[in-house]
Structure 1
Amino acid sequence: MLFLVENCFQWMGFHLVNCLLENGYKVDGVDDLSSEKKENLSMYVGRNASFQHLTSSKRGTTYDRSINIKDKEFVLTIKQNTSHRIKLPLLFGEWMPMKRDGMYLQSTFISFDSDIFLNEAIYIGDFMRSLIQWEKSSQLPEVLEVKSINNKQNEEIKLENSVYIRNNRTIEENLEMVIKHYEKFEELY
């Protein structure tokens, strides 16, 4: 199966490309290398024989699936016919914009000890494992709301269009792993 991932060297795109490659998919990734961070992330996947970096999507190529990564959602397109919007929870993980005590969501700083982070954050690896399952589904809704299992209070969301993800490890264990990664590679963040 051939995937197209747009914004593949944005930090979430990097995790998505790795996840797809680890699950045996072929991936064409579209992104510019406009920053040192994107150049560094491109080196981690660029040598994989199942990955091809493009500066724009190849005309005439038919992709089984394409995923366009935006700030607050992924747009999954199946065979260029049906699109599904996956509204993102607060994701955290290696390579995200961060400091030792918090992360940035666009230009907003979110402290790791804040209620927002502790109740809404989902580790990127747990999210990606779920995404691999969703892309295989033949009954994915047009809009899918993804939330942390710790954040079930929003009653406006239709349950049939919602998925609640539980972190496989505690949020503190995942956060400790991310902070260690940040400390090791701080100059590349």
Structure 2
Amino acid sequence: MEVLVHPVSHWIGYHIAERLLHEGYEVKGIKEIKEEGDNNHLIDFFQRNSNFELMTTSNQRKYQLAIFVEDIPEMDENRFERMLQINGERSSVKNATYIDAPYLFGEWMPMTEEGIYVGENYIGFSSPAFLEKGVYITDFLSQLLQWLKDMPAYQEIRVESVRNQSLKGKKLEKIFSVEENIPIKENINQVLAHFRKFQALYPAVNKKT
């Protein structure tokens, strides 16, 4: 199955493409167009994989599935049988399923030693909100793969951690609670170790207080 990932150079897009390739999918990636602060070097990790191809925004191919991180660009939506949008401003495209995953974290994200950026907001790793709601990218991708096989019939889905106490005892159809394979503090330490090792390649950020 072919999947278009846009932008594949976004840190979430990178992890999606990497996981899909590992699972045997054919991935067509479009990179992020920015003058600075991007992660275009991440594309280099895919170049030797025969199931990956870097595309341009001008191509007119049709795809079974397209996954967009943050905003959906202006494209002919009839080219895609299914569309998923993860975060960003919700699109008005009718055949797109919007996935709201506000507390995702993982390697290559905009971050500092103390926390991450969720949109324009800075959230510390030690903050109660993050420790309760943070979802590691690998755990999210396990749920995403299930959706690719059997997508729920909703136009909007919200992703939350099983640690989110405010959801305990509630049955909310459009909210999916993601299980974690490793405790969040261990995942945070893993991400920090990666950040310290490859900090020069991470997107430059200015902490806003």
The residue correspondences of 1:50-89 to structure 2 (distance < 5 A) are: 50-56=51-57, 58-59=59-60, 61-70=61-70, 79-80=81-82, 82-89=95-102
The residue correspondences of 1:30-45 to structure 2 (distance < 5 A) are: 30-32=30-32, 34=34, 35=36, 37-45=38-46
Q: Residue 30 of structure 1 contacts residue 57 of structure 1 at CA under 8 Å; is this kept in 2?
A: no
Q: TM-score, normalised by structure 2?
A: 0.79
Q: TM-score, normalised by structure 1?
A: 0.87
Q: How many residues align?
A: 182
| Unaligned stretches of 5+ residues in structure 1 | 72-76
3-state SS, counterpart of residue 119 of structure 1: helix
3-state SS, counterpart of residue 68 of structure 2: strand
One-letter code aligned to 1:42: I
Pairwise CA distance, 1:89: 3.3
Compare the two structures and name the one with the higher strand fraction: 1
Q: Which moved more, 1:78-87 or 1:133-142?
A: 78-87
Give aligned-pair identity as a percent: 34
User: RMSD in angstroms over aligned alpha carbons?
Assistant: 2.2
| Unaligned stretches of 5+ residues in structure 2 | 72-78, 84-94, 203-209
One-letter code aligned to 1:146: V
Post-superposition, which runs of at least 4 consecutive aligned residues in structure 1 deviate over 3 A?
A: 32-37
User: 2: distance between equivalents of 1:64 and 1:115?
Assistant: 40
- Partner of 1:74 in structure 2? none
Deviations 1:40-93 (A, max 9, x none): 11111122111111221521x22111111117xxxxx96158321111130010
One-letter code aligned to 1:10: H
Q: Residue 106 of structure 2 contacts residue 137 of structure 2 at CA under 8 Å; is this kept in 1?
A: yes
3-state SS, counterpart of residue 133 of structure 1: helix
Q: Residue 31 of structure 2 contacts residue 40 of structure 2 at CA under 8 Å; is this kept in 1?
A: no
